[in-house]
C-alpha cells in the first residue's frame, strides 16, 4: 500500500482525504491518502521522508506552501513563477517536483461559475501561498486591476512586486505585448479599501479566516450585486453570508478543492482523476 499525505498545520479540517481516497478506490489504485499535521520544525523531515519508495507524493497547505520550496529538487514552471507549491510528486528518477495546482483550479472553478476575469477588477484578501496562486492566475488571464489587501501591507507589496517581475519583460510588457494590470497593495485597515470593494467585480478570500470559527477578514463588506465573492474556504462562512445579504453572488472553495485535487491526482498516479467520484464523496456527510 503506497501513501500520499497532506502536509500542513492544522489539517484535521481537511476534506482532501475523503475525496482522494474515493478516487483511489474507484480506480483500484493500492494507495492511501492521509492528512498529517506537520509543524514548521517537522517540515524538513516530513518532506525528506517522501523520498521513500512507499510515497507517491503529497499535498501542501498552510502554512508551508512557500517554506517547502527549498526542500524540493525542482519546480514546475508555473510553481516557480508563483513562488508557492501545493503539490509534490516524483519524476521517473525519484526527484521531488513541486507544482501549483491552485492557480489553474481557481480559474477552472471561476469558469464553472460563468465568471471571466479578463478586463475586470479583482481584489484578493491575504498574501499567503493561496493568495499568490490567485494573483498570478488572474494576472495571466488579463484582469485590468488587481488589488491585494493584507493585514501587513508589506507582504501585499512583496507579492505584487514578485508578480510584476514574473509577468513582464524588459519593456514592462506582458507575454501578449500588453501593459500589465494596475496593481494595488493595501492594508486591510486602509480606508481606500472600501472604494476598491465598491468597484471590483471579484472579491477572493485567500486567508484562513472562516475555517474554524465565525471570523471574517472583512466584516460586512461594502459590496453590491455586481460582485462575485469567492471564499477559498470550502464551507459556509460569515463573509459569504454577509455578502449574500448585500445581494452579491457568492461561491465557496469546494470546486477549487476538487479541481486542484484532480490535477494533483494525475501527477501522483498518471491516471485521469474521476471528477464525478471525487465530487460525490465530498457531498456525503462527514
Sign (positive/negative) of CA torsion 62, 240, 134, 215?
Answer: negative
216 near 238, Cβ under 8 Å? Answer: yes
Tell me if residue 242 falls in helix, strand or coil: helix
Please name which of 245, 255, 182 lies closest in space to residue 216, comparing C-alpha atoms. Answer: 245
Cα distances from 127 to residues 56, 75, 82, 132, 267, in angstroms, run 30, 21, 12, 6, 27
Strand arrangement, sheet containing 31-37 = 31-37, 2-8, 55-60, 87-90, 96-99, 74-75
d(CA 168, CA 11): 36
Within 8 A by CB and 6+ apart from 93, the residues are none
Alpha carbons 205 and 207: distance in angstroms, whole number? 6
Residue 65 is a catalytic residue: yes
CA dihedral (141, 147, 151, 157) positive or negative: positive
Peptide bond into 10 cis (omega under 30): yes
Q: Is 201 left (phi over 0), alpha (psi -120 to 50) or beta?
A: alpha
Point out the catalytic residue in the list 15, 46, 64, 65: 65
CB 97 within 8 A of CB 88: yes
DSSP, collapsed to helix, strand or coil, labels residue 176 as coil
Active site residues: 65
Amino acid at each position: 500500500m503506497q501513501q500520499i499525505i497532506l502536509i500542513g498545520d492544522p489539517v484535521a479540517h481537511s476534506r482532501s482525504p475523503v475525496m482522494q481516497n474515493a478516487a483511489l478506490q474507484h480506480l483500484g489504485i493500492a494507495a492511501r491518502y492521509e492528512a498529517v499535521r506537520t509543524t514548521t520544525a517537522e517540515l524538513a523531515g516530513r518532506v525528506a521522508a517522501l523520498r521513500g519508495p512507499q510515497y507517491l507524493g503529497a499535498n501542501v497547505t498552510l502554512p508551508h506552501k512557500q517554506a517547502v520550496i527549498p526542500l524540493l529538487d525542482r519546480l514546475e514552471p508555473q510553481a516557480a513563477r508563483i513562488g508557492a507549491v501545493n503539490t509534490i510528486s516524483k519524476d521517473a528518477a525519484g526527484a521531488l517536483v513541486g507544482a501549483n495546482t491552485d492557480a489553474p483550479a481557481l480559474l477552472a472553478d471561476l469558469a464553472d461559475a460563468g465568471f471571466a476575469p479578463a478586463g475586470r477588477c479583482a481584489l484578493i484578501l491575504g498574501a499567503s501561498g493561496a493568495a499568490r496562486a490567485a494573483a498570478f492566475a488572474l494576472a495571466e488571464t488579463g484582469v485590468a486591476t488587481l488589488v491585494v489587501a493584507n493585514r501587513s501591507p508589506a507582504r501585499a507589496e512583496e507579492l505584487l512586486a514578485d508578480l510584476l517581475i514574473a509577468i513582464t519583460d524588459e519593456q514592462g510588457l506582458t507575454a501578449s505585448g500588453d501593459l500589465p494590470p494596475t496593481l494595488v497593495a493595501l492594508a486591510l485597515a486602509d480606508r481606500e479599501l472600501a472604494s476598491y470593494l465598491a468597484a471590483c467585480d471579484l472579491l477572493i478570500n485567500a486567508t484562513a479566516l472562516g475555517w474554524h470559527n465565525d471570523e471574517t477578514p472583512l466584516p460586512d463588506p461594502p459590496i453590491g450585486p455586481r460582485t462575485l465573492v469567492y471564499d477559498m474556504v470550502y464551507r459556509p462562512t460569515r463573509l459569504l453570508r454577509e455578502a449574500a445579504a448585500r445581494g452579491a453572488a457568492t461561491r465557496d472553495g469546494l470546486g477549487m478543492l476538487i479541481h486542484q485535487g484532480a490535477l494533483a491526482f494525475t501527477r501522483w498516479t498518471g491516471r485521469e482523476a474521476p471528477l464525478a467520484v471525487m465530487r460525490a464523496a465530498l457531498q456525503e456527510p462527514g
